[in-house]
C-alpha cells in the first residue's frame, strides 16, 4: 500500500495498458475503462461574484460495456458532468479520459462520443433517414456503407416505416427512437443520454426503459445515462453514481445503493427511508447498541468506528418495519393509513419520531391491519437498520 501511494502516477497502470491496443476492440473489452475523470472541477463564472461550483473534485471510473447512470436532483451537476464528457463544456481543472485518451481539450466533434439529447434535437429540416445518416457522412463513410448502416439502425429501433418522414410529424416515442438510432449509427465508444425519457408519458417511459437496456446489451456500447428519477436509475443501470451539490455521494450497483446507503442523502434520495437520530450506547465487536429517544435500544452492525455517546442516524426502509400488537411492546401510535393498491402505508408516531411503514396488502392474507389511533409495536427485520454517520 505504502509503495503504491508513493508511485508518481497513482492511477493503476493496468487500466491504461489494456485500453487502446491496435487490433483489439476496446469498445467491447469487458474490463477496460470507458471513461475516467480525475479531480474534476467545474466552476461557472470563475473569478466573478456569480461564481458557481457545479462539480467539486469528482473522481469516477466507468467501465466499458456498462450501463452507467448519473443520478441526482436537478442542479446537482450531473448534466454538467455529461456535457464535459461530450465536450460541450470545458472543465475548470482535472482530467477527463475516454478509453485512455485525454480528451479534456478536444472539441465535441473530435470525441468518440455521441449524445441523445433531452428534447432529442433532431434536425427538423431532414428526414429520419438523413438524420441517421448525418453522423456517418461526417465521418466520411462511403455511400454504400452509410446506406446499409442507416437501414440497420432503422431496423434496430423499429422505425423503417418512418424513414422518409420528418421529425415534426412524429410522436415523442418515435422521435426518441430516431434520436437513439442517430446517436448509435456512427458506433460511438460512449453513448451519453441526457434525461432522454423525461419528455415521455409514463407507459411509454417504462417501455423505453426496457428497450434502452436491451439496446445497450445488443450494441455493447457503454451508456452513460443522466436522470433525476431514482426508479429509472435502479431499473436500468449496471452501476449508479449518486451526485448531490457537485459531490459524488456514492457509486455502486442499484442493490448497493438501495440496501447499503452510505449517507443520509443517498438513503433519503433513493427510495424512501425512515431517518432516525440515535446515540451510540456501546459497541461490541462489529455491532453497536443504539439508543433511540422515546423508543429504546436497538442493535445494528456498524462498519466504521463509532464512539460511545456519538450521534448517528439510522435508516430503515418502510417495507422493513414490522408492525404488531398484543406483545406488550406497543409504543407507536398509528396516525394515518393510506391505501396504495399494492400496499398499505401506515404513518406512525413513536415519541418524537415520525415513521412510515409499508405493508404489502395490509390486512389481507392473514396480515394484521391497523387503523388511525391504534397503538402498535414496531419491529425491524434483521439487517434492516443501516447506521449512517453523515
Q: Which residues of this chain interact with another protein, rule CB under 8 A?
A: 86-88, 107-109, 113-115, 117-119, 121-125, 134-135, 138-139, 182-183, 186
**Set of cell numbers at residue 49:** 461574484
Listed in sequence order, the residues at least 6 apart from 24 whose beta carbon sits closer than 8 Å to its beta carbon are none
Q: Between 73 and 112, name the residue whose CB sits nearer to another protein.
A: 112
Closest contact distance (angstroms) between CB of 115 and another protein is 5
Q: Between 138 and 375, name the residue whose CB sits nearer to another protein.
A: 138
Closest contact distance (angstroms) between CB of 196 and another protein is 12
Closest contact distance (angstroms) between CB of 139 and another protein is 6
Helix, strand, or coil (residue 381) = coil
Q: Between 166 and 337, name the residue whose CB sits nearer to another protein.
A: 166
Listed in sequence order, the residues at least 6 apart from 302 whose beta carbon sits closer than 8 Å to its beta carbon are 283, 286, 287, 288, 387
Helix (H) or strand (E) holding 284: strand 274-284
Closest contact distance (angstroms) between CB of 38 and another protein is 23
Q: Between 36 and 89, name the residue whose CB sits nearer to another protein.
A: 89
Closest contact distance (angstroms) between CB of 186 and another protein is 7
Q: Using alpha carbons only, what angle is made at residue 150 by residues 146 and 152, rounded to the nearest 5 degrees? A: 120
Closest contact distance (angstroms) between CB of 154 and another protein is 17
| Cα–Cα distance measured from residue 1 to residue 273, given in angstroms and rounded to the nearest whole number | 37
Q: Give strand pairing partners of 34.
A: none
| Cα–Cα distance measured from residue 108 to residue 88, given in angstroms and rounded to the nearest whole number | 6
| Cα–Cα distance measured from residue 264 to residue 103, given in angstroms and rounded to the nearest whole number | 35
Q: Between 167 and 362, name the residue whose CB sits nearer to another protein.
A: 167
Q: Between 136 and 355, name the residue whose CB sits nearer to another protein.
A: 136
Amino acid at each position: 500500500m505504502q509503495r503504491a501511494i508513493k508511485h508518481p502516477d497513482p492511477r493503476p497502470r493496468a487500466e491504461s495498458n489494456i485500453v487502446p491496443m491496435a487490433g483489439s476492440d476496446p469498445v467491447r473489452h469487458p474490463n477496460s475503462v470507458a471513461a475516467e475523470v480525475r479531480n474534476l472541477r467545474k466552476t461557472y463564472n470563475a473569478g466573478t461574484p456569480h461564481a458557481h461550483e457545479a462539480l467539486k473534485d469528482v473522481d469516477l471510473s466507468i467501465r466499458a460495456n456498462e450501463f452507467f447512470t448519473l443520478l441526482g436532483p436537478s442542479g446537482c451537476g450531473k448534466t454538467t458532468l455529461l456535457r464535459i464528457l461530450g465536450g460541450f463544456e470545458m472543465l475548470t481543472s482535472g482530467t477527463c479520459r475516454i478509453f485512455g485518451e485525454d480528451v479534456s481539450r478536444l472539441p465535441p466533434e473530435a470525441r468518440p462520443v455521441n449524445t441523445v439529447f433531452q428534447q432529442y434535437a433532431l434536425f427538423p429540416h431532414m428526414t429520419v433517414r438523413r438524420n441517421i445518416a448525418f453522423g456517418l457522412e461526417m465521418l466520411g463513410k462511403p455511400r454504400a456503407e452509410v446506406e446499409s448502416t442507416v437501414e440497420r439502425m432503422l431496423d434496430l429501433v423499429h422505425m423503417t416505416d418512418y424513414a422518409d418522414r420528418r421529425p415534426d410529424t412524429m410522436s415523442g416515442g418515435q422521435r426518441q427512437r430516431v434520436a437513439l438510432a442517430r446517436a448509435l449509427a456512427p458506433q460511438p465508444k460512449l453513448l451519453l443520454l441526457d434525461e432522454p425519457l423525461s419528455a415521455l408519458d409514463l407507459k411509454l417511459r417504462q417501455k423505453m426503459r426496457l428497450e434502452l437496456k436491451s439496446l445497450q446489451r445488443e450494441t455493447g456500447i457503454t451508456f452513460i445515462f443522466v436522470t433525476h428519477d431514482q426508479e429509472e436509475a435502479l431499473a436500468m443501470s449496471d452501476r449508479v453514481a449518486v451526485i448531490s451539490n457537485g459531490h459524488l455521494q456514492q457509486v455502486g450497483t442499484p442493490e448497493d445503493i438501495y440496501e447499503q446507503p452510505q449517507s443520509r442523502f443517498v438513503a433519503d434520495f433513493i427510495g424512501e427511508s425512515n431517518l432516525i437520530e440515535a446515540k451510540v450506547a456501546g459497541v461490541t465487536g462489529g455491532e453497536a447498541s443504539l439508543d433511540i429517544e422515546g423508543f429504546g435500544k436497538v442493535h445494528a452492525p456498524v462498519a466504521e468506528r463509532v464512539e460511545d455517546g456519538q450521534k448517528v442516524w439510522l435508516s430503515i426502509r418502510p417495507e422493513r418495519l414490522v408492525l404488531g400488537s398484543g406483545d406488550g411492546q406497543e409504543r407507536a401510535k398509528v396516525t394515518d393509513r393510506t391505501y396504495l393498491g399494492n400496499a398499505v402505508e401506515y404513518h406512525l408516531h413513536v415519541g418524537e419520531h415520525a415513521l412510515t411503514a409499508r405493508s404489502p396488502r395490509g390486512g389481507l392474507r392473514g396480515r394484521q391491519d391497523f387503523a388511525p389511533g391504534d397503538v402498535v409495536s414496531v419491529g425491524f427485520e434483521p439487517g434492516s437498520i443501516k447506521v449512517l454517520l453523515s
